[in-house]
Chains A and B, each alone.
Chain A
């Protein structure tokens, strides 16, 4: 099923914007983000710093790519995988009884906790990313291709 182009654009821009926003605090405070990752007790300590440095940039760059409509399908696919992994991490944290900060947007001590509510939010984001992946094409001429499709 094809969505109207305006909705496609809206979803793509929304998803890109969310990822850009989510990356900013982490890029500025990689130390705090490394702590947030450590709290999940899933990664070996050796990988804490590399992941804390690289992951926020992956979020930012895929977010910018989505906004710029450049590699939209691959960027959305990467984001879909990222949100799915984050959601699984939150679910395992809850099931292990860890009362930890989510590390999703804000890295303040008073930031969002890893809760079922957060899992629900992430499921919505997964649905959004899945729609963007399904509705876009590879390459950098998404809007022209989409418009051509709909004018046929």
Chain B
């Protein structure tokens, strides 16, 4: 038993040393402590781990003070239910449902497209005609899913510059009795 504890301790020591060294030298390192960003949830603002977003929040390095005014606006950025509804009424944004086809067909925000995040690459042709500065809102079920954030990240990496993720999502939209449709995908 003592031998087992000795070996476990040795393994733990090696793991800690290797992890610390990796944090010093690896290019893709993350901070040891979880960072958070404020996000519009169904019931007001909520903190989520910043690692979910491909944004300046994840960077370990701080921008030089002279560059501060040049930091681009957050992309993707969070958006509240009220703002989504306003854009929906003005038809001034493309709304994308990141859930799977079955969930989409059982009910979605009226006019929303369906691009399930994990089948994202199969539906790229839908995005081809869109200019890169198109305002796009992604959503999924709500605070218990993050397909909306993942899809938003993927769109940003494709070069889209005006992406919003609607973290309150389908549940928040339903709660406020905003227009919904059921049926097949576009």
Contacts and interface: CB of A to CB of B under 8 A. Distances in A.
B30 A52 contact: yes
A106 B49 CA distance: 22
A148 B150 CA distance: 55
B171 interface: no
A57 B14 CA distance: 9
Contact of A61 (B4, B11, B28): B11
Interface in A99-120: 99, 101, 109-110, 113
Interface stretch (B107-115, B117-125, B130-138, B160-168): B117-125
Given A34-B30, A35-B52, A109 B120 contact: yes
A151 to B, nearest CB: 24
Contact of A45 (B32, B36, B117, B144): B36
Contacts, number: 97
A11 B89 CA distance: 62
Contact of A109 (B11, B49, B118): B118
B180 interface: no
A30 interface: yes
A54 B15 contact: yes
Contact of A74 (B7, B15, B144): B7
Contacts of A27: 22, 26
B28 A28 contact: yes
A57 B144 contact: no
B174 interface: no
Chain A binding surface, main DSSP class: helix
B11 A75 contact: yes
A26 to B, nearest CB: 11
B100 A99 contact: yes
B51 A49 contact: yes
A91 to B, nearest CB: 18
Nearest to B99: A99
A101 B145 CA distance: 12
A86 interface: no
Interface string B73-97: 0000000000000000000000000
Given A46-B34, A74-B4, A113 B11 contact: no
Contact of B11 (A30, A78, A138): A78
A150 interface: no
A41 B52 CA distance: 13
A53 interface: yes
B71 interface: no
Nearest to A62: B11
A60 interface: yes
Nearest to B2: A138
11 contacts: A31-B30, A34-B34, A35-B51, A46-B34, A48-B34, A53-B32, A73-B4, A74-B7, A109-B154, A113-B118, A138-B4
Interface of A: 27-31, 34-35, 38-39, 41, 45-50, 52-54, 57-58, 60-62, 65, 71, 73-75, 77-78, 99, 101, 109-110, 113, 138-139
